[in-house]
Amino acid sequence: MRAPTMNNLDLVAPAAPDELCGRVDDLFRQRFGGAPDGVWMAPGRVNLIGEHIDYIGASVMPFALPYATAVAVRVHNEDRVRLASTGHQDHWEGGGADIGPHRPNGWAGYVAGVPWAMTYHDTIARIPGLDIAVHSSVPQGAGLSSSAALETATALAIAELFGAATDDSGRRTLARDCITAENVVVGAATGGMDQSAALRARAGHVMLLDCNTFGVEHLKLDCRPAGVVFLVINTNAPHRLVEGSYGLRRSRVERVCARIGRSALLHTDDVDAVLNCARTDDPPLRRALRHVLTEIRRVSAVADLLRADEIAAIGPHLSASHASLRDDLVVSSPELDTAVDAALDAGALGARMIGGGFGGSALALVRTERLPDVIEAVGRAALDHRLPKPDFLCGIPSGAARRVY
């Protein structure tokens, strides 16, 4: 999985599947005794472009990362779900009656919520007895979707163990179940991009995901022949008021988009004319709408460039997306702006914050030979601005959730 050009740099190496599986198998045996029925893994993701438009049913472009979450799972006949993770000290154990809306709390909700949601949607008949161990190389809370990796690895395991479909249409169903788990059991807002990416991505491709129909077009993202790489920058910024701020921006977007017909929102070329249709003088609302309208059009432009195999040419669209998120929707942060500016100053072809905003990670498109300079510049800028030291990860477009053994 590791691109040779990325060796010897200050990059977090993606864990080899063998290593992930070895660690999760060890934890399983220590905690529960005996062997699991199998091990499944699911990837984290980045979103190439299309931010704050998933929940209004527009198209977004996620691709899976070579960092993944592995779950070792065993089915048994008791009414008990037992969970352990190398990522958290606290273990969890409960019966079917202990799982439901807003329970269990904490990380266990992301795992136990999955069989609950699969039962709720009739994908399986009842919550089975389960022992589940978890180990991950996806950083948690960095905007790289460790939550969806955890949910989807669990969902795929349960689906395979109970004979539910796992072809593309089965995976669509599993994505829906994972969204329900996160919305209802965890109580977090998620639009479905992350779960769809983890379950349906293709190595070497980016997904053009229609968040209205959940239809997918896989577009080739062949970096090596183009001489470019994607660099993921985890700013390690502390979360600040994330939920409240995200919710405010989202409701602003939803409110103003409700005034515009879907066809104008998605297709009309004249952005100013559509803006005027919204009949609002409220500057934040008007700017939120401008972000949505321009972002939807940037997604189309990037998709067209990728269909023409013009990866390097998408850079300016990534940077324009960042400027729009920073200036129009106002969801960036000093850490994200510093990283993006430093990457661009050091010669990145394009860079942008990814995810809902107010922290998390950024993505830069870089000519391979410029990668050391960009990494050095972004690290130095964080130091100069007294910001947390970022981590650098490899943005290699990777495959979807799968059974390892």
Show which residues are catalytic: 194
Site for ligand ADP in 62-81 (CB under 6 A): 69
Burial class (CB in 10 A: 0-12, 13-18, 19+), 405: exposed
Q: Which stretch binds ligand ADP (CB under 6 A): 17-25, 145-153, 291-299, 392-400?
A: 145-153
Which residues, 99 to 138, sit near ligand ADP by CB under 6 A?
A: 107, 110, 134, 136
- Whole-number Å distance between alpha carbons of 219 and 206: 5
Map the footprint of ligand ADP across residues 241-300, applying CB under 6 A: none
Q: How far is the CB of 6 from ligand ADP (least distance, A)?
A: 22
Least Å distance between CB 269 and Mg ion?
34
By a kind-dependent CB cut-off of 5 to 8 A, residue 144 interacts, out of ligand ADP, Mg ion, none, with ligand ADP
Residue 143's binding partner among Mg ion, ligand ADP, none (Cβ under 5 to 8 angstroms by kind) is ligand ADP
Number of chain positions touching ligand ADP (CB under 6 A): 17
- Total length of the chain: 405
Closest residue by beta carbon to Mg ion? 147
Q: Are strands 350-353 and 88-94 parallel, antiparallel or unpaired?
A: unpaired
Spatial separation of the C-alpha atoms in residues 320 and 304, rounded to whole Å:
16
**Which range, of 4-12, 146-154, 269-277, 304-312, touches Mg ion by CB under 5 A?**
146-154
Tokens for 245? 């701020």
Instruction: Tell me the window of 112-120, 144-152, 344-352, 385-393 that interacts with ligand ADP (CB under 6 A).
Output: 144-152
Contact 115, 124 (CB under 8 A): yes
141 binds ligand ADP (CB under 6 A): yes
Tell the smallest beta-carbon distance from residue 142 to ligand ADP (Å). Answer: 6
Q: Does 147 bind Mg ion (CB under 5 A)?
A: yes
From the list Mg ion, ligand ADP, none, partner contacted by residue 46 (C-beta under 5 to 8 A by kind)? none
Q: If contact means CB under 5 to 8 A according to the sort of partner, which of Mg ion, ligand ADP, none does residue 358 touch?
A: none
- Name 37's Cβ contacts closer than 8 Å, sequence gap at least 6: 73, 74, 75, 161
Q: Per the omega criterion (within 30 degrees of 0), is the bond before 104 cis?
A: yes
CB of 100 to ligand ADP, least distance (A): 18
Q: Which of 144, 237, 351, 400 binds ligand ADP (CB under 6 A)?
A: 144
| Residue 175 interacts with ligand ADP (CB under 6 A): yes or no | no
Stretch touching ligand ADP by CB under 6 A, among 5-13, 140-148, 168-176, 272-280: 140-148
The span of 139-147, 223-231, 284-292, 369-377 binding ligand ADP (CB under 6 A) equals 139-147
String marking each residue 78-97 x if it binds ligand ADP according to CB under 6 A: -------x-xx---------
Which residues contact Mg ion by CB under 5 A? 147
Binding site for ligand ADP (CB under 6 A): 69, 85, 87-88, 107, 110, 134, 136, 140-147, 150
